[in-house]
Every structure is written in C-alpha cells, then in structure tokens.
C-alpha cells in the first residue's frame, strides 16, 4: 500500500441496520466518500429486538469494507443493573468484532462516528493500534439545550476521555461545536459537510399531476421534539382554512408518535390533504422529490440536514426554519429560510411560492455536487487525514 493510501477503521454508534435502514446513513456516505481515496473498514455492532441469535453481515466493494454484528437485546427491567449488563455485553461484542474483522492489518486512522457508545470499543482499538491517529465525527444533538440528553457521569467521563485523545473533531455545524465546548469538550474542531449521493439525487423528467395544487414534501425521522411534525400539521391546517390548494406528503417512520399524528390530522379533517408514505429507499425519496414542488423543513433544531441537500440536488427548492447550518446551505436562489420560524410566516411563504423564482434544477444539482458530493467531501477528509 502506498504511503498516501491510508488504512482507516470506522467505528460507528449509528449505522443503517435492520431496525432502522436510515439510521446513520450520513455516516455510511462519509465512509463511501473516503473509500474513493483510502481503504475503509466499517465495524458496527448493535443489539436488535426480536432476534434470537447473533447475525453477521459482510459487504466488500474495493476499498470499502463493511462488517455489521447484530445480537439479541438483554431483557431486564432493573435500570442500573440492566444498563450495566447491556454496556458490558456491547463492549464484549464490539471488541470481538474488532478482533475478528481487523485480521493482522494495522490501521493508520481510527475514526469514531458519533461518540457514544462507540467510544467504548474505540478505547480498546486505540490500545490495540497505538500508532493510529484518532479522529471523531460527532452528529448527536444531545449537547443542545433543546435536547438536553448529554448527562450522566459515565457518558460525560467516556466522552471527555475520547475527545481528549482525538487529533481532530469533525462537526457538521458551528452550533454543535459551540455546544460541545460549553460542556468542556475542548479539542481541535473542524466543520465538514455531509454527503449527498448525487448519482441518486438528481433532477429527472418525472411527470407531475394536479396542476394548480402545490405539492409539498417532508422527509425526516418524524421525532416531534426535533422535527416539529405537529407544527407542519398546523401549517397544513392554516393553509386549508385559507382555501389554499395543496397536497402534503410525509416520508418517514416513527411508530411511537404516528398514532398522535394521525389522530391530530383526523381531528383537523386533513385526511385528504396529508398523506404519510412511510419508510422509503433513497431511490424512492429521490422520485418523490422530483414529483414535488417544494420541500418543507420546520425543525426546532438541526445540524446539517441532509434532506435539504438531497432536495436541492434533485432541483427541488426548499422552505426551512433557520436552524443549524441552514443559513450556509440554502442559497437565496435555492430556497427560503424563514426569518421568524413561525407558522404564520411559513403559511405566507408557501402561499406565495413560485418555482420560477429559483435556479434551474440543473444549476442546483451542480452546486450540491461541487460542495457535498462524494468526491468533494472525500477529498476534504483525505487531506485532513494526511495533513494532521
């Protein structure tokens, strides 16, 4: 292997899995981008409900190697003992996977993607390959005061320990960096872009119907405290009151809150205005984006929402609250950033939306590919590995 081609180990807290195919997809995209320049081995371990024995999946494509281990969840309803046993089993399974899938190779870089719980096996990997440089990419919103889940002695301790050892900490928003520093997580931070697969998310000549009806699209995890689905439903309610002609499609899965959403829609008599499409693959999402007139994001907080990038890569203008990196992501020629983040403002912008005021789909696609495509982001990360 040439000195310039590094051997990189990706240890992930999140990754697409049988329980959630979209979980950590942005981490997989980063790995794919890096594999254009270096050899990347991804190891991911997760407990999965409703399985009875350990399952291993392997995928190799040139310099991209992926190994995932799934094992049955521990069913114990005693909080402290249950949590201890779960973490102990996770550590054991992850260490075994590292031993099994690393073989005799040495790694030049250990890259942890979302600190907890991958920090647990990462500390083992650092000892196994003491000459490897440690990099971290953090995506988690738990540091934000709106989320507030960064708490507890163990989480704080292991996060501090890993951050202290890292050469660089990659974040996808300036706000995330600032919130981590407020928690005394000091280090060498660098903001990187999320990745869009522009071979999938691209403009097409998809035929549309319902001329005169604005087709609005929303795609997310549908977690209300973050994605504000109840706010989106309220926007639909106000548009209906004002006799505005629209159809809202919502893509995503959230079994815990779906009942509440459907009940609210029924109470508002919006069954003919809002349609839940459930989980969709990347190709299916790209198709829906090409069938739509505008994408709506009404989140309370975000980092660098990939769905906005994917929408713009398809040539679909966006309307978004002013959260995370949205100000840097959405150019005036590619969409609208709300100034007040209110329902009234969103309703007004939707009613006055005109597609012809924005860049052509081809221009939007070229901009996203240049700044967020696999080659572009992979090249940036490669340079950071080599020059740190």
Q: How far is CA 371 from CA 56, 159, 247, 285, 329, in A?
A: 35, 30, 31, 21, 10
Q: What is the pLDDT of residue 50?
A: 87
Q: Are residues 357 and 222 in the same domain?
A: yes
User: Using one digit for the tens of pLDDT, what is the confidence trace for 29-88?
Assistant: 999 999 999 999 999 999 998 899 999 999 999 999 999 999 998 877 777 787 889 999
Q: In 242-360, which ranges are continuous DSSP H helix? A: 255-267, 282-291, 306-313, 326-329, 343-351
List the beta bridge partners of residue 196: 373
- What is the CB neighbour count within 10 angstroms for residue 212? 5
Query: What are residue 263's phi and psi, to 5 degrees?
Result: -65, -40
Q: Is the pLDDT of residue 206 over 80?
A: no
Which tokens belong to 296? 């709506």
Q: Are residues 126 and 231 in the same domain?
A: no
Q: What is d(CA 18, CA 47) in angstroms, rounded to the nearest whole number?
A: 11
Which tokens belong to 322? 């002013």
What's the distance, CA 187 to chain centroid?
Answer: 23
In a domain, 158, yes or no: yes
DSSP code string of 3-27: TTS-EEEEEES---BTTBTTTTHHH
Q: What is d(CA 77, CA 380) in angstroms, rounded to the nearest whole number?
A: 45
Average pLDDT over residues 86-112: 95
CA dihedral 314, 317, 321, 326 (to 10 degrees): 60
Q: Is the pLDDT of residue 148 over 80?
A: yes
Q: How far is CA 76 from CA 70, 82, 86, 155, in A?
A: 18, 5, 9, 21
Q: Are residues 184 and 250 in the same domain?
A: no
| Percent of the chain topping pLDDT 70 | 98
Q: How far is CA 68 from CA 42, 44, 94, 147, in A?
A: 8, 5, 10, 29
Average pLDDT over residues 347-355: 97
In a domain, 2, yes or no: no
Q: What is the pLDDT of residue 1?
A: 41
Q: Are residues 162 and 245 in the same domain?
A: no
Q: What is the pLDDT of residue 310?
A: 98
Q: Are residues 379 and 311 in the same domain?
A: no
Q: What is the pLDDT of residue 2?
A: 45
Q: Are residues 320 and 290 in the same domain?
A: yes
Q: What is the pLDDT of residue 174?
A: 94
Q: Are residues 219 and 235 in the same domain?
A: yes
Q: Are residues 286 and 357 in the same domain?
A: yes
Q: Are residues 188 and 333 in the same domain?
A: no
Q: Are residues 126 and 45 in the same domain?
A: yes
Q: Is the pLDDT of residue 4 over 90?
A: no
Which tokens belong to 38? 């270096």
Q: Is the pLDDT of residue 274 over 90?
A: yes
User: Using one digit for the tens of pLDDT, what is the confidence trace for 219-253?
Assistant: 999 999 999 999 999 999 999 999 999 999 999 99
Q: In total, how many domains does the chain have?
A: 2
Q: Are residues 367 and 377 in the same domain?
A: no
Q: What is the pLDDT of residue 79?
A: 74
Query: What are residue 72's phi and psi, to 5 degrees?
Result: -65, 145
Q: Are residues 101 and 21 in the same domain?
A: yes
User: Using one digit for the tens of pLDDT, what is the confidence trace for 302-350?
Assistant: 999 999 999 999 999 999 999 999 999 999 999 999 999 999 999 999 9
C-beta of residue 105 within 8 angstroms of C-beta of residue 7: yes
C-beta of residue 52 within 8 angstroms of C-beta of residue 72: yes
User: Using one digit for the tens of pLDDT, what is the confidence trace for 151-200?
Assistant: 999 999 999 999 999 999 999 999 999 999 999 999 999 999 999 999 99
Domain range holding 249? 214-371
In a domain, 310, yes or no: yes
Output 364 or 50, whichever has higher pLDDT: 364
How far is it between the farthest Cα atoms of the chain?
Answer: 67
In a domain, 206, yes or no: no
C-beta of residue 91 within 8 angstroms of C-beta of residue 120: yes
In a domain, 141, yes or no: yes
Burial class (CB in 10 A: 0-12, 13-18, 19+), 80: exposed
Here the CATH number for the domain that contains residue 298 is: 3.40.50.2000
Q: What is d(CA 332, CA 21) in angstroms, rounded to the nearest whole number?
A: 32
C-beta of residue 150 within 8 angstroms of C-beta of residue 176: no
C-beta of residue 369 within 8 angstroms of C-beta of residue 192: no
In a domain, 346, yes or no: yes
Q: What is d(CA 32, CA 36) in angstroms, rounded to the nearest whole number?
A: 7
In a domain, 202, yes or no: no
DSSP code string of 23-65: TTHHHHHHHHHHTTTSEEEEEEEEEETT--S-EEEEEEETTEE
Q: Is the pLDDT of residue 128 over 80?
A: yes
In a domain, 200, yes or no: no
DSSP secondary-structure letter at 373? B
């Amino acid at each position: 292997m040439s000195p310039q081609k590094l051997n990189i180990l990706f240890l992930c807290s999140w990754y697409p899995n049988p329980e959630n195919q979209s979980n950590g997809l942005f981490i997989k995209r980063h790995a794919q981008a890096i594999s254009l320049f270096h050899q990347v081995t991804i190891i991911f371990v997760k407990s999965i409900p409703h399985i009875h024995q350990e399952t291993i999946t392997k995928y190799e494509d040139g310099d991209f190697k992926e190994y995932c281990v799934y094992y049955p969840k521990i069913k114990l309803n005693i909080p402290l003992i249950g949590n201890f046993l779960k973490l102990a089993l996770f550590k054991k399974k992850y260490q075994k996977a590292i031993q099994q899938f690393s073989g005799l190779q040495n790694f030049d870089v250990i890259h942890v993607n979302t600190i907890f719980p991958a920090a647990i096996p990462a500390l083992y990997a650092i000892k196994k390959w003491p000459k490897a440089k440690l990099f971290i990419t953090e995506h988690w919103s738990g540091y934000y005061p709106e989320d507030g889940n960064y708490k507890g002695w163990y989480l704080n301790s292991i996060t501090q320990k890993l951050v202290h050892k890292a050469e660089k900490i990659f974040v996808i928003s300036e706000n995330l960096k600032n919130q981590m520093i407020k928690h005394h997580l000091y280090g060498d931070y660098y903001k990187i872009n999320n990745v869009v697969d522009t071979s999938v998310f691209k403009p097409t000549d998809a035929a549309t119907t319902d001329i005169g009806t604005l087709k609005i699209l929303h795609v997310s995890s549908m977690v209300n405290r973050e994605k504000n689905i109840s706010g989106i439903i309220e926007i639909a309610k106000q548009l209906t009151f004002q006799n505005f002609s629209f159809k809202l499609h919502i893509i995503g899965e959230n079994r815990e809150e779906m009942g509440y959403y459907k009940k609210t829609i029924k109470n508002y008599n919006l069954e003919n205005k809002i349609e839940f499409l459930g989980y969709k693959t990347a190709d299916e999402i790209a198709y829906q984006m090409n069938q739509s007139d505008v994408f709506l994001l009404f989140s309370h907080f975000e980092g660098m929402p990939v769905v906005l990038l994917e929408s713009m890569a398809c040539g679909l203008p966006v309307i978004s609250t002013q959260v995370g990196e949205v100000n840097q992501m959405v150019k005036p020629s590619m969409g609208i950033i709300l100034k007040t983040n209110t329902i009234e403002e969103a309703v007004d912008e939707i009613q006055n939306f005109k597609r012809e005021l924005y860049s052509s789909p081809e221009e939007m696609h070229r901009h996203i590919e240049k700044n967020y495509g696999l080659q572009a982001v992979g090249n940036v990360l490669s340079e950071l590995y080599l020059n740190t």
